[in-house]
A and B are shown apart, each in its own frame.
Chain A
């Protein structure tokens, strides 16, 4: 096993997340894509901590923080989605284009 493969896998996961983030019409699926992005980032941290910093493993500490913040962010994100849903009765991203030109 090499560092490169982990990084490539994380990059692939990040790209999948980006794709989902830009193309999803469901707001919850956008949040899920954000989770994919964060997980890709965590994968990078863990891989770097394992291969480059096995003594101090600062990457793992970072990953713990990212998981924590991601959970909080997901909670706030879902709350926002819920707030929008209560007003507009939909979570379709295509319908949230009120702030244009």
Chain B
């Protein structure tokens, strides 16, 4: 009986697909009378079914070898595209996290979208993401991973653009689509140029191919090929994971509905790093690419952690840590530790949804998202405060919790290779802690502000998923211990990490809770504060470089098309019309003129004939 669940794993992405389709029935234009709520309930049910199936399959798989299936898709001359599925403990665990977080986010959305009519569209898209993400972790092919990433990019566009009557939503959705699309397109270049080298897109076979002696010799002989290939393959995850310089979209994606943000911050951004982890063997063929990966990761981790500290929007203080944390995942991959990256992704995915949920709890009935206008909620919102703190503790390095172990593993891995990177990781941990604790202090500490004067705790659809998720976060170390994933305890590094977390947290508490420092806090260097608050002026940089260039080129080509190409064709017509208009005056209406032309014509013909005869 249990083995059936394992054999039918391919069914799992189809459950939410059913939800996607069925939810569409409750569009306000189709079922007009009874409201959109069943769309949400059906989708939550389908998620639960998928979660149950996943867990049963996990039990059935036990500790056995990963199972591989192959579904035929398309066979054309010389190209056999079949969809390989790999059912491994890792992919099943990833699916369990995806469906678990999704279910909680959906229940949360029951409460959050209470006064919204767009349940059908919202839940349909949410289920669409479930389909894409579960298919991504199941499929074992770079080609199909690329297809799913593209589909999810479209999903992001539609989900961020949910409340499309707001102008900032429209621009945010546009940027989210285009930025991720550029990364995906570069990834497509990499995917296509990988085929003639490896003749396979199957991740398992790619990993084998990348370690063959022939391949290594070839890579040694042609470093540029693998450098460019690696860069193209890196670009896809770069856009998906909101890394520098493709990070602006995540900031603007915070315009979307908050339950979707839970999902995006916790899970969706991990789709990129999932593919990145799977590509590690190929990236490792070029030391240059590994260097770039580490460089991007370090730059994003430090930059985004600093930017997060300078934000005043609650949702944005939680979006830049996403980029920063994923930067560290990039560092882990770039230094050749994909297992560490997977562990980081697991602990992060479980924990990161929690601060977003807790923030949504505050935002839902405090209206404002400006941390400067909130305060003094600790006494009245104890559950939210507790869950938020647990979420932060689960993300940064706080000893018994899950996040600590992945940070510890990362630091242990890096310690052998480069002390500089360890310093970066410790610094990022401190900065992340500072930024995350700062928000909690500002919202829950101090005296109530006008906007948070009356702020009751919310009803069950908000509290239930949040507390359940908090419980899950608290149980992550136990789960790690049971599955044998718990890294070995390293006393020195553990203490250093704890110290960096403690110093970040206590510094934040000191700055934002003590009445001695005037609020809002101003740095001595105002320009630096503005630089960080405005995200290093990234929109301006985009507009000046890429957008400006593309805009200019398209304007020029439009002018060329309008005037040169069109003009040349139109000139032919104009000349013809002009010829007709002028030549008609040869018909003068005078009889003698006609006679004259006849005679001239005859004279010419006779003259020509005579000339030819004489010659």
Q: How far is the CA of A96 from the CA of B596 in the complex (A)?
A: 16
- A residues 34-77 near B (Cβ < 8 Å) are none
Asked whether, in the complex, the Cβ of B599 is within 8 Å of the Cβ of A96, the reply is no
The one of B585, B589, B592 in contact with A98, judged by C-beta atoms closer than 8 angstroms, is B589
The one of A21, A96, A101 in contact with B587, judged by C-beta atoms closer than 8 angstroms, is A101
Asked whether, in the complex, the Cβ of A94 is within 8 Å of the Cβ of B595, the reply is no
Q: How far is the CA of A18 from the CA of B602 in the complex (A)?
A: 13
Chain B residues whose C-beta falls within 8 Å of the C-beta of A24 in the assembled complex: 592
List 14 A-B pairs, Cβ < 8 Å: A21-B592, A22-B592, A22-B596, A22-B599, A24-B592, A93-B591, A96-B589, A96-B591, A97-B588, A99-B589, A100-B588, A100-B589, A100-B590, A101-B587
Asked whether, in the complex, the Cβ of A101 is within 8 Å of the Cβ of B592, the reply is no
Asked whether, in the complex, the Cβ of B585 is within 8 Å of the Cβ of A93, the reply is no
Residue of B nearest to A98 (CB): B589
Asked whether, in the complex, the Cβ of B599 is within 8 Å of the Cβ of A18, the reply is yes
Asked whether, in the complex, the Cβ of B585 is within 8 Å of the Cβ of A97, the reply is no
- B residues 517-572 near A (Cβ < 8 Å) are none
Chain A residues whose C-beta falls within 8 Å of the C-beta of B459 in the assembled complex: none
Q: What size tier do the contact residues of chain B reach?
A: 10 to 19
Q: A97-B590, A98-B589, A101-B584 are in contact. List 11 more A-B contacts (CB 8 A).
A: A18-B599, A21-B592, A21-B595, A22-B595, A93-B590, A94-B590, A97-B589, A99-B589, A100-B587, A100-B590, A101-B585
A11 CB to closest chain B CB (Å) equals 13
Residue of A nearest to B581 (CB): A101
Q: What size tier do the contact residues of chain A reach?
A: 10 to 19
- The answer to whether the Cβ of A10 comes within 8 Å of any Cβ in the partner chain is no
Asked whether, in the complex, the Cβ of B592 is within 8 Å of the Cβ of A30, the reply is yes
Chain A residues whose C-beta falls within 8 Å of the C-beta of B596 in the assembled complex: 22
Q: How far is the CA of A97 from the CA of B587 in the complex (A)?
A: 10
Asked whether, in the complex, the Cβ of A96 is within 8 Å of the Cβ of B590, the reply is yes
Chain A residues whose C-beta falls within 8 Å of the C-beta of B591 in the assembled complex: 93, 96
Residue of B nearest to A27 (CB): B591
CB-based closest 8 A-B pairs: A100-B589, A97-B589, A101-B584, A97-B590, A99-B589, A101-B587, A22-B596, A22-B592
- A residues 79-101 near B (Cβ < 8 Å) are 93-94, 96-101
- Which of B585, B590, B595: most chain A CB closer than 10 A? B590
Chain B residues whose C-beta falls within 8 Å of the C-beta of A23 in the assembled complex: 592
Residue of B nearest to A94 (CB): B590
- B residues 573-591 near A (Cβ < 8 Å) are 584-585, 587-591
Residue of A nearest to B599 (CB): A18
Q: How far is the CA of A64 from the CA of B591 in the complex (A)?
A: 29
Chain B residues whose C-beta falls within 8 Å of the C-beta of A97 in the assembled complex: 588-590
Chain B residues whose C-beta falls within 8 Å of the C-beta of A22 in the assembled complex: 592, 595-596, 599
